[in-house]
Structure 1
Amino acid sequence: MASSQYKGVVAQPNGRWGAQIYEKNHRVWLGTFTEQVDAAKAYDIAAQRFRGGDAVINFSPLTDTAEMVFLNSHSKPEIVDMLQKHTYDDEFQQNQRAMTSHLTNPSSFLNGRPIDHQPPVQLLMFEKVLTPSDVGKLNRLVIPKQYAEKHFLLKPLLSAGDNTAPASSSKGTLLNMKDSSGKAWRFRYSYRYSSQSYVLTKGWSRFVKDKNLNAGDAVGFYQSGTGLDRKLYIDWKTGNFQGAEITRNGDDQYFPYPYPLLPDVPIPNRPVQVMRLFGVNIFKTTN
């Protein structure tokens, strides 16, 4: 097997090239590439995010201030995820277009100075109370079908070379969201034919751990804008909340409107009775 002349690049049995970096003696896989130059560039990007100015890289260090800001504004796992999916360049360019659009918009300036805008109105799409399987080892969140097909458009993909039978699950798409603190999250959204369900997978388990979510807690999904300007948001609250009547449908529990999760929105103060059935908390409001 051929060896590579580039740091952080290893040959693969199929003739492609892999990129990897070590963090605290643990290997971090950065993806597989057709050309070893592309693998070397991926290593350089990761090295500069992981090690900053001390990074030993293959090519010249980044000199574009905008790209350095973009690189350092994302966590290490987020940068690794972009490199593995080969979306780093696209996401950087998308970020630049968004910044350019903001800076060149005359309404963004007052006497030559940028002015602050009110944040976009975030409208509730739907909420869900988390089940044990949503926060368990399956590392996925089931999106109720009626909400998935209404708010998250997805065309399931067919398996390679098969024009009749669907694959066990679609490759799906990436959904970019922000939480109420402004932190960015990226989830893999797909349809699983085996269970006939819409799910959030990659990125979900990290969200669960970050927010310390448990069965009985709730997550809410919001949007602002429409079309190309549409932005998605996610928020959460713990299971000791008040004010929501919950209906059950199999393993899933849902909040009806209008009980938004975002902060500073009043929620009716009505007492809640909690009953545990088959290991799941069932909440019922009383008058």
Structure 2
Amino acid sequence: MAECEGHGNREACSTCMYRNYKREVVFKKNLSPSDTQRRGSYRFYIPRPHAARFWPPANGGEVMITFYDVQMRRWPMRFRTSGGNAFLSRGWSQFVREKRLGQGDAITFYEVRCGQGTRFFMIGISRKDRVQILGAPIN
């Protein structure tokens, strides 16, 4: 990630991000039971056409990627490729558990670019059968 122009910060800078940024949807997905299971592999498969946006394809490679939620909380997750598939592993189960995600909830992955070269990824959540603003339920 490139440094923030105004602060020299190598992390996503909420101060600069909200002034000058471009957000693009990478992909959206309604979560299936296997995406949110509490036992087993704890993997979230990323559709092949979108995987290269996160990291150049390399069969058998892995890298840690930090995603941000709408509150700018950091969520580090392992991005892996194996056998032509791409998926998130370490960190995904914690995200699912803490966000209380379930079957039918939808997530949207965004690529955000702000300033000159600063690039990071965000995850938005839409809950099944609940109205929300910025990921927070409205009662």
Q: Does the pair score TM above 0.5?
A: yes
Out of 28, 31, 36, the position equivalent to 1:130 is 31
**Within the alignment, does 1:197 sit opposite 2:85 as a pair?**
yes
CA distance in structure 2 between the partners assigned to 1:182 and 1:176 by the alignment: 11
Greater per-residue helix proportion: 1
Q: How far 1:117 sits from its partner (Å)?
A: 4.5
For residue 140 of structure 1, report the CA deviation from its aligned partner.
0.9
| Aligned positions, number | 124
Q: How far does residue 191 in structure 1 lie from its aligned partner after superposition?
A: 1.2
Residue 262 (structure 1) shift: 7.7
Q: Percent identity?
A: 23
| TM-score of the pair, normalised by structure 1 | 0.38
Aligned partners of 2:108 and 2:125 also within 8 Å: yes
Q: CA deviation at 1:176?
A: 1.2
Structure 1 stretches of 5 or more lacking a match? 1-93, 105-115, 158-169, 243-260, 265-287
Name whichever structure is richer in strand by fraction: 2
Asked whether the equivalents of residues 51 and 57 of structure 2 are also in contact (C-alpha less than 8 Å), the reply is no
The structure with the largest alpha-carbon Rg is: 1
Q: Which amino acid aligns with 1:173?
A: V
Q: What amino acid is the match of 1:130?
A: L
Task: Work out whether residues 180 and 262 of structure 1, in 8 Å CA contact, stay in contact via their aligned partners in 2.
Answer: no
Between 1 and 2, higher relative CO (CA 8 Å, sep ≥ 6) is seen in: 2
1:219 aligns with 2:107: yes
- Unpaired runs of 5+ in structure 2? 9-14
SS at match of 2:108: strand
User: Residue 144 of structure 1 is aligned with which of 47, 50, 54?
Assistant: 47
Matched position secondary structure for 2:76: strand
Q: Which residue of 2 aligns with 1:187?
A: 77
Aligned counterparts of 1:192 and 1:152: Cα–Cα separation in 2: 15
Q: Does 1:178 align with 2:68?
A: yes
Equivalent position of 1:31 in the other structure: none
